[in-house]
């Protein structure tokens, strides 16, 4: 038996996936609280942001359990999918008429509660695209254009509504996730190549439409050839992010010891939380986070290979791509490997909408693993 192994039995939730989600959520509570300490309001001896995060964490765990319990085949029934799509579409449309915050229409204000509906579109997209692709496979149409129209239409409408709110990052993630699911469903490579080319062309066209997007892209190319002469072209957020990660070294400055979060690094508790992790906890801290998401990817792949049907496999691959793909994009932005774009780090960034959505996605993954065949699996590190 290998030293690093994990046994999962049929009818039991994937305890490793549950543990990883809750551990990351608790860690995010501490790290995001530390990153957002400057300017935070205090109530009852505790920052109000921390109080809200505790509530979000508790509600997120509840949503995870709620998404796990009903059979995923019931969640993928046509009437359920249509209800989810209708409600999500209406809420995303209403958001477009809401207040503009930081140049975008991403938020919906409900009294004292502010939510980001584009986050909730993520699990809805996974369920809806998985259901339509599974139906196309059943009808032997997945290798035809007719079989791909519905999943593409669903992804296009959701991404389009979010894009109208001037958010390019989330629609890009939705497109990549849908494309990955279509690939795993067995669609023709020629269709996939065409979709990839079309999506890439649309992405660069949308970048050209907004001056700030084009500036970020130019700054990204300059960051790839970092010199004293090109530093002025690099976006301020990326400059401060690189300083934060570099100053952390191997061991970091210690929890709470970040200086960049002192109003130097914008969105330190959200879009650039990975930089604060690097500054306070060092290389070791960032590696632990990376390993955690690699383990989530492993559990996602395990659920995919053991799922009893095509629907379960597609849900598993969609959830894995959505969570781990977003984490990869966040880390890429923070380190300058990808153009600057606001994407939270699942479980770790502040923000209730993102945290609850991350737990909902894990709940769907647990739903599939709960109804999959048991097996003894290993990381294969030691034999």
| DSSP output for 122-136 | HHHHHHHHHHHHHHH
Q: Is residue 46 part of a domain?
A: no
Cβ-contact 218, 207 below 8 angstroms: no
| Mean pLDDT of the region 10-18 | 82
Residue that is written with structure tokens 């330190």 in the block: 268
- Average pLDDT taken over every residue of the chain: 86
Q: Is residue 296 part of a domain?
A: yes
**pTM of the shown model:** 0.89
**Segments forming the whole domain that contains residue 168:** 5-39+57-378
DSSP state of 374: P
Structural domain tally of the chain? 1
| Mean pLDDT of the region 204-233 | 75
pLDDT grade for 8, boundaries at 50, 70 and 90: low
What per-residue confidence (pLDDT) applies to 378?
Answer: 44
pLDDT above 70: percentage of residues in the chain: 86
345: alpha, beta or left? (left if phi > 0; alpha if psi -120 to 50): beta
Cβ-contact 124, 161 below 8 angstroms: no
Q: Is residue 49 part of a domain?
A: no
pLDDT grade for 380, boundaries at 50, 70 and 90: very low
Cβ-contact 362, 295 below 8 angstroms: no
Q: Is residue 52 part of a domain?
A: no
Nearest of 344, 351, 348 to residue 322 by alpha carbon: 344
Q: Is residue 31 part of a domain?
A: yes
pLDDT in tens, 141-193: 989 888 899 999 999 999 999 999 888 889 999 999 999 999 999 999 999 99
pLDDT above 90: percentage of residues in the chain: 53
pLDDT in tens, 66-110: 999 999 999 999 999 999 999 999 999 998 887 777 667 777 877
CA dihedral 103, 105, 106, 112 (to 10 degrees): 100
What per-residue confidence (pLDDT) applies to 1?
Answer: 44
Q: Is residue 111 part of a domain?
A: yes
Q: State the alpha helices, DSSP H only, in the chain.
A: 15-35, 48-68, 72-75, 78-95, 117-138, 145-164, 169-185, 189-209, 211-223, 236-248, 273-306, 310-334, 352-370
DSSP state of 378: E
Nearest of 361, 315, 82 to residue 185 by alpha carbon: 315
Q: Is residue 45 part of a domain?
A: no
pLDDT at 340 exceeding the cut of 90: no
Treating both helix axes as pointing N-terminal to C-terminal, what angle do 145-164 and 169-185 enclose, rounded to 10 degrees?
170
């Amino acid at each position: 038996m290998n030293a690093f192994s994990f046994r999962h039995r049929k009818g039991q939730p994937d305890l490793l996936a549950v543990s990883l989600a809750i551990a990351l959520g608790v860690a995010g509570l501490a790290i995001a609280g530390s990153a957002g300490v400057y300017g935070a309001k205090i109530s009852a001896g505790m920052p109000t942001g921390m109080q809200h995060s505790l509530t979000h964490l508790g509600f997120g765990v509840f949503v995870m359990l709620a998404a796990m319990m009903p059979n995923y085949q019931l969640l993928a029934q046509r009437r359920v999918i249509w209800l989810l799509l209708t409600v999500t579409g209406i809420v995303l449309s209403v958001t477009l008429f809401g207040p503009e915050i930081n140049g975008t229409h991403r938020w919906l204000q409900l009294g004292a509660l502010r939510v980001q509906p584009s986050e909730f579109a993520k699990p809805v997209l996974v369920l809806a695209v998985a259901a339509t692709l599974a139906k196309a496979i059943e009808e032997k149409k997945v290798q035809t254009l007719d079989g791909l129209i519905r999943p593409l239409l669903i992804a296009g409408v959701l991404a389009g509504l979010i894009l109208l709110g001037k958010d390019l990052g989330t629609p890009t993630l939705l497109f990549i996730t849908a494309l990955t699911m279509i690939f795993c469903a067995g669609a023709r490579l020629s269709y996939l190549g065409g979709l990839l080319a079309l999506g890439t062309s649309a992405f660069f066209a949308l970048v050209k439409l907004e001056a700030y997007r084009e500036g970020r892209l130019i700054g990204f190319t300059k960051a790839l050839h970092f010199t004293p002469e090109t530093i002025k072209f690099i976006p301020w957020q990326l400059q401060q992010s690189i300083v934060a990660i570099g100053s952390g070294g191997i061991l970091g400055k210690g929890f709470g010891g970040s200086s960049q979060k002192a109003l130097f690094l914008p969105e330190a508790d959200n879009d650039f939380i990975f930089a604060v992790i690097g500054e306070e906890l060092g290389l070791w801290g960032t590696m632990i986070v990376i390993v955690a998401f690699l383990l989530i990817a492993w559990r996602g792949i395990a659920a995919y290979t053991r799922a009893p049907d095509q629907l379960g496999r597609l849900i598993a691959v969609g959830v894995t791509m959505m969570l781990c793909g977003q984490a990869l994009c966040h880390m890429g932005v923070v380190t300058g490997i990808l153009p600057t774009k606001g994407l939270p780090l699942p479980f770790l960034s502040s923000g209730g909408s993102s945290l609850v959505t991350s737990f909902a996605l894990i709940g769907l993954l647990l739903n599939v693993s709960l109804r999959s065949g048991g097996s003894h699996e290993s990381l294969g590190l030691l034999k």
